[in-house]
Amino acid sequence: MSKPSPEVYEQGRGMDAHNQVMRELRAEKGNKEYDPHEPTRVWLDEDNTPDGVYQSLTIILNTGGCRWARAGGCTMCGYVAESVEGGSVGHDALMDQIQACLDHEAEEADDESGLVKIYTSGSFLDEREVPAETRSAIADTFADRERIVVESLPDFVEAERVSDFTDVGLETDVAVGLETATDRVRHDCVNKYFDFADFEDAAAEARSVGAGVKAYLLMKPPFLSESEAVADMKTSVEKCAAVEGCHTVSMNPTNVQRYTMVDQLHFRGGYRPPWLWSVAEVLEETADEDVIVVSDPVGNGSDRGPHNCGECDDLVYEAIKDFDLRQDPSVFEEVSCECELTHDAVLERETAYNLPLAE
């Protein structure tokens, strides 16, 4: 399976240029420090799963950051800018972060969450980010919950690592940042080194110990027109649904994060985040696939996030979140706006080699 080494994956793949630009952009962030004993973020929400809707506790651990991002990384991802300098965080500090998240849950929720989701802005299963000792301790900490989601690049999805969670009786899902089922788009637009076949291998590895897979897709990475982005997402949902063990697809529109190539393009008028109408179209037209399809438009309604005209953004966003829980495409029949005509024109006329037709 692919290994995230820039020495291997830059050579002959055109990734050297992307990575060089990304390293330069990340260097602009300065020397802001983050407390290794405090999580990056923690919040409570609701999530749709194969076993129904759960209250969820979402945790983003503050680790040394994504290994691939330190090589250069994805064109749209600025999360490594929030990671602890030095490349690693010790076991005790990571467990302090877990305790801080449990304290937050106790203060904000009436009951413990049935679903726990753990992210690192990298790969939870990468033992350079989260040591084996910590992974096992976290599994024990949440053994009394019903379901857990951990995020990882395909490289680190190994049966032995995933079984820490399945062995304590947790329904376990491995979330993989696939971004797209189209290898060329993943390589050239997202600057991610692995292939769709690697995702299929990771799903098989997770399945071997009784775990499921949740695929994260990225709507409209840079260098795609709006119509190309919509078509790519429809195809990607269909292909993910055909992978055994992949029961959920989270199709998320790109938002403009600092210290990224997308940020540079957006600043120069060369990138517009996707329309919320595009998100709705993909969800509506893939609703019949044999997979749960959800979306979480971060930065909804802002210039740097997925948006429509400004007048209907909140209504369409609420319809998307309603669809996430009920999987009923009829919710999109209840929202409309004059800007749908502009969106239709963009889909018909915008080309990838031009600037965005509409803000």
Helix/strand/coil for 87: coil
Question: In this structure, are residues 189 and 178 in contact, taking their beta carbons and an 8 Å threshold?
Answer: no
Indicate the pTM of the whole model: 0.90
In 3D space, the residue among 103, 43, 34, 32 whose CA is nearest the CA of residue 62 turns out to be 34
Q: How many residues are recorded in the chain?
A: 359
In 3D space, the residue among 197, 252, 194, 191 whose CA is nearest the CA of residue 223 turns out to be 191
DSSP character string of 25-70: HHGGGTT----TTS-SEEEEEEEEETTEEEEEEEEE---S--HHHH
Which positions ≥6 away from 114 have C-beta within 8 Å?
54, 55, 56, 145, 146, 147
For every one of its 359 residues, what pLDDT tens digit does the chain have, with 9 covering 90 and above? 445 554 444 444 456 777 777 777 766 765 566 789 999 999 999 999 999 999 999 999 999 888 888 777 899 988 766 666 656 799 999 999 999 999 999 999 999 999 999 999 889 999 999 999 999 999 999 999 999 999 999 999 999 999 999 999 999 999 999 999 999 999 999 999 899 999 999 999 999 999 999 999 999 999 999 999 999 999 999 999 999 999 999 999 999 999 899 999 999 999 999 999 999 999 999 999 999 999 999 999 999 999 999 999 999 999 999 999 999 999 999 999 999 999 999 999 998 777 788 88
CA dihedral of 103, 105, 109, 115, whole degrees rounded to 10 = -150
